[in-house]
Structure 1
Amino acid sequence: MKNKSYIGISFIILIFGIWSVPKIITKFKKSDLHLIGKVPAFELTDQNNKKISDKDYLGKVYVVEFFFSTCPTICPKMNENMLLLQDEFYGNPKFGIASITINPEHDTSEVLKKHAEELGVKHYNWHMLTGDKTYIFDLAKKGFNMYAGENKNVSGGFEHSGMFALVDKEGNIRCRKDAFENPILYYDGLEEEGVQAIKEDIKKLLEE
């Protein structure tokens, strides 16, 4: 009788174990987002005069943008949309933002701190970063392949991409694919569609 009970219990445990395996596999499965490559290494100074590097973001899903505090054109809209991302993931320690100025000669840590306060930056993993101008331009154009440059003939004196880069917990740049299965590379930081898409994909990466 004892042997029959033991066999019965063992059978139940075995079936339960088999049934549980797919759930465990699903939980740790990578999302369908395309892997572009490693985020370029960087080290800059944030609004609190603290050195921040790409390594400080490891273990976090984060968004990267290039901007400048006196930008009169696309930056206000990018700021508005980045604030939406802050609100969506506020309080989540696994989420972060890296806002890198392309006018570091003006945008010192002190200037960026005031700018952050005026914008309503509250998330402790949102770093507004400054440093050497040549270093930052190389990081934008050669590291991320996102345009940034000076142009005295345009309003504000600088031009830059309005796109957001999405980086996973392991430091990989990731993105979704379009209707033709082509990687979009970066997300439109100016349009509602792009912001909604990056929100959805941040959630996917947070679950990985």
Structure 2
Amino acid sequence: MSKKPNYSYIGIAFIVLIFGIIFVPRIAERISNNDISRQESRSDQKRETPKKSSDLVFIPNNGENRKVPNFAFTNQDGKTITNKDYEGKVYVIEFFFTTCPTICPRMNRNLIEIQNEFEEFEDFGVASFTINPENDTPEVLKAYAEKYGVTNPNWNLMTGDKEAIYKLSNEGFYIYAAANPDVEGGFEHSGNFALIDKNGFIRCRVVDGNPIIYYNGITSESEKTDEDGKLEEISALKEDIKKLLTE
């Protein structure tokens, strides 16, 4: 007794044959013309954020580029913050104290303005170190942060061992800070900001052939110049933060 042909298998075989005749040559042609690889390349380019080196320079010291020293202090929320917490972030460093009656309020108003301009950048932050840790407890720093409008989660106001803070300021950054009972407020310090890149290196722009190293944090953009006629540097700092964020 003869078997009946299996029409389902015949149908499948016919479809496969038609697919091979029509589509295989087209796929082979696309591969030979690199169309597929070009499309994949374009997709990869869309996913990648373009990176480029900026014209901001490193600060040499004893044959090496100056980098943020290791530190560990307590922030306004009572958490221990170290330099490791800033890895992968562009940030600004300042030294201040909450009872400062002179330059600190001006400095921190400028930092608030910078904070607000970069509020959409998760990789931007600020590191503020008090030079009066005996008074500036985490609770005091918390109230100060709320008073000025600190909202950036990467802005840490830090307190801790006084000697360690002064060593970080004077020897780590060469940003002057000292207790002085003869001056208003009992402390004196520089009004400069340091700009740090994502790898922890101090960076700055070059003006008239020389690196400025630090940025004047006292004079605001609206003031244009300080009492000596020197141009403000907050606008330059903003421009340079943008450059480092795209590196």
TM-score with structure 2 setting the length: 0.75
Kindly state the Cα deviation for residue 91 of structure 1 after the two structures are TM-superposed.
3.5
Give the distance between the partners of 2:56 and 2:33, measured in 1 at CA: 40
Give the distance between the partners of 1:132 and 1:151, measured in 2 at CA: 18
Any idea what the Cα deviations from partners look like across 1:5-33, whole Å, max 9, x if unmatched? 949973778999999xxxxxx93221111
Any idea what the Cα deviations from partners look like across 1:130-158, whole Å, max 9, x if unmatched? 00111100000000011000111100000
1:200 aligns with 2:239: yes
Indicate the residue corresponding to 2:183 in structure 1.
154
Give the distance between the partners of 1:104 and 1:80, measured in 2 at CA: 21
Is the Cα contact below 8 Å between 2:68 and 2:201 reproduced in 1?
yes
SS of 1:38's equivalent in the other structure is coil
Give the distance between the partners of 2:140 and 2:31, measured in 1 at CA: 71
Q: Structure 2 unaligned runs (5+)?
A: 1-24, 43-48, 60-65, 222-231
TM-score with structure 1 setting the length: 0.88
Equivalence map 1:115-126=2 (5 Å): 115-126=144-155
Equivalence map 1:118-197=2 (5 Å): 118-180=147-209, 182-191=210-219, 192=221, 193-197=232-236
Is the Cα contact below 8 Å between 1:31 and 1:204 reproduced in 2?
yes
Q: Counterpart amino acid of 2:191?
A: G
Give the distance between the partners of 2:41 and 2:116, measured in 1 at CA: 40
Indicate the residue corresponding to 2:17 in structure 1.
none
Give the distance between the partners of 1:116 and 1:46, measured in 2 at CA: 11
Runs (4+) off by over 6 Å: 11-19
Structure ID, larger Rg: 2
Is the Cα contact below 8 Å between 1:99 and 1:128 reproduced in 2?
yes
SS of 2:211's equivalent in the other structure is coil
SS of 1:155's equivalent in the other structure is coil
Q: Structure 1 unaligned runs (5+)?
A: 20-25
Indicate the residue corresponding to 1:34 in structure 2.
57
Higher relative contact order (CA 8 A, sep 6+): 1
Equivalence map 1:19-168=2 (5 Å): 27-36=50-59, 37-168=66-197
RMSD in angstroms over aligned alpha carbons?
2.6
Kindly state the Cα deviation for residue 113 of structure 1 after the two structures are TM-superposed.
0.6
SS of 1:143's equivalent in the other structure is helix
Give the distance between the partners of 1:10 and 1:106, measured in 2 at CA: 72
Is the Cα contact below 8 Å between 2:197 and 2:203 reproduced in 1?
yes
Give the distance between the partners of 2:157 and 2:174, measured in 1 at CA: 20
**Matched residues, number:** 205
